[in-house]
Structure 1
Amino acid sequence: MTISLPRTLHAPLNIRWEPLPDDFVLPDDPVESTLQPLLAAALREALELDDRIPAHCLIASNFGLCAVVDGKTIVKAPDWVYVPRVQSVSVGTVRRSYTPNLEGEKPAIVMEFISATEGGEYSIKPSYPYGKWFFYEQILQVPIYVIFEPDICCLEVYQLQEGQYKALKPNPEGRYWLGEIGLFSGVWQGQKAEVTAPWLRWWDESGRLLLWGSERIAEERLRAEQAEGETLQERLRAEQAEGETLQERLRAERSEAQLQALQERLRSLGVDLGPD
């Protein structure tokens, strides 16, 4: 899907990158679905456990991205955002928001998770307060825009090409290559945090799934059980070999005893067996 935005719909925008005023009241919209924060946390968790979160990058959810457009401060809070490089802040400072091109690079990826209540993820409204699609495409110019609707297991990925978002096509496995983060993104059906649902997951270039913490623990437990089983098998094989050796020894001792008994019997009958 491509939403074309005629250039004649709006005059050139006057965009400035300024810090959010201290007295600016950030929107405190309620989360539309209990799954949304779980989706965002799961995406970060897999990256963190695979050591793919450099110290200089910013990953956040429901976090305000700011710009001043035609003199008005605009803040949009995507459900998930990835910024490759940001400026460090003082120890103890908590970011209230992020202004691209002032505090670091612009976001490389933004994601929106659609719930039953449509939140304007496709809005191209070119006037204040601006639609999300318009804000990410025309104002921030984010290279990758992901829209995921778990209720119907629908994933759409758009790439900024010549100033407009155009839909990407998935690979044969239904995954999308996101060069900005060096991973594939796709839908995985299963359970996490006692919730069975479609989840957004990461795969590396070789097709390896980036695991969550619970999956890593299960994998380690399985490896330990397999190693224990292999050790037990080795012990059983060693005991079996020892048993076979003992049996051979017993057979040899029995044969020697039988031979000696026969020789003694023959001598008692006067048979000269000659020297031993």
Structure 2
Amino acid sequence: MTPLQLQPRNTLPPITWEKLPADFPLPDEPVENNLQPLLAAALRESLELADLILESMLIATNFGICATVGDKTVVKAPDWVYVPSVKPLPPGEIRRSYTPHAEGENPTIVMEFISATEGGEYSINPHYPYGKWYFYEHILKIPTYVIFHPQIAILEVYNLVNGKYEAQSPDENQRFWIEALNLFLGTWMGKKAEFEGYWLRWWDKSGNLLLWGSELVEQERQRTEQERQRTEQERQRAEQAEQKAVRLAERLRVMGIDPEEIS
């Protein structure tokens, strides 16, 4: 599902990048369901555990990304956003929103997770307050836009090509190469936390799944159990060898042979 290619023609007012004042009233819209933050947190968790997150990066959930178009401040809060490098904040300051260029690099990836009721993820409205698709494509010009339908496991990845989003095709494993992170992104069926269903997961170039914390713990538990079993098997083999040696010595003595003299 993509917007119509014949998008409305209009001339955008000048776009400027001004950091929001501390008292700017940000939209306070609750997430549409409890799955959205779980999906976002799971994506970050596996990156963090794989040591792929740097202090200079910004990875946020339902976080306001801002631009000033003409005299209007536009704020959109994608379900997941990745910024390769941001300027550090002064000590004690909390980041409430993010204005590209004024506070660091432009976001490289934005993701939207669609609930039962679409929230405008495909909107190409070219007028204030602007549709999400239009805002990401024409105003922010974000290289990669991901839309995920978790209820039906449909994952769409769009790359910005000559100013327009073009659908990317998955590989033979139905995964999409995400250049900015040097990873594959795909869907995965299973359980995490209290939810069993479709998740977004990362894979490296070699096809290895980036694991969650619970999976790493289970992996370590299995390694420990395997090592315990190997140790137990070695103990049993040593015990059996010792018993065999004792029996052999007894037979030799019965035959009138001193085992000590043989050794």
Residue 151 of structure 2: SS of its match in structure 1? helix
Q: CA deviation at 1:197?
A: 1.1
Residue 242 of structure 1 is matched in structure 2 by: 242
Q: Provide the C-alpha distance between the structure 1 equivalents of 2:66 and 2:93, rounded to a whole number of angstroms.
A: 18
Residue 224 of structure 2 is matched in structure 1 by: 224
Residue 187 of structure 2 is matched in structure 1 by: 187
Residue 148 of structure 1 is matched in structure 2 by: 148
CA contact (8 A) 1:156 1:167 kept: yes
Q: How does 1:1-276 map to 2 (within 5 A)?
A: 2-3=2-3, 5-6=5-6, 9-256=9-256
Q: Provide the C-alpha distance between the structure 2 equivalents of 1:42 and 1:149, rounded to a whole number of angstroms.
A: 16
Residue 75 of structure 1: SS of its match in structure 2? strand
- Code of the aligned partner of 2:135: F
Decide which structure has greater helix share: 1
**Unaligned runs of at least 5 residues, structure 1:** 258-276
CA contact (8 A) 1:2 1:165 kept: no
Residue 151 of structure 1: SS of its match in structure 2? coil
CA contact (8 A) 1:4 1:164 kept: no
CA contact (8 A) 2:85 2:104 kept: yes
CA contact (8 A) 2:63 2:79 kept: yes
Q: Provide the C-alpha distance between the structure 2 equivalents of 1:181 and 1:149, rounded to a whole number of angstroms.
A: 22
- Code of the aligned partner of 2:144: I
The more displaced of 167-176 and 13-22 is: 13-22
Q: Provide the C-alpha distance between the structure 1 equivalents of 2:50 and 2:255, rounded to a whole number of angstroms.
A: 65
* Aligned CA distance change for structure 1 residues 183 and 84 (closer, same or farther; 3 Å): same
Q: CA deviation at 1:7?
A: 7.0
Identity level (%): 58
Residue 263 of structure 1 is matched in structure 2 by: none
**Unaligned runs of at least 5 residues, structure 2:** 258-263
Residue 261 of structure 2 is matched in structure 1 by: none
Q: CA deviation at 1:194?
A: 2.0
Q: TM-score, normalised by structure 1?
A: 0.90
For these two proteins, the number of residue pairs brought into alignment is: 258
The CA RMSD measured in Å over matched residues stands at 1.5
Structure number with bigger Rg = 1
Q: CA deviation at 1:13?
A: 3.4
* 4+ residue runs over 4 A deviation: 4-8
Deviations 1:29-72 (CA, angstroms, capped at 9, x unpaired)? 12101100100111111111111101100000000000000111
Deviations 1:79-116 (CA, angstroms, capped at 9, x unpaired)? 00000000000122110100001111000100000001
* Aligned CA distance change for structure 1 residues 112 and 222 (closer, same or farther; 3 Å): same
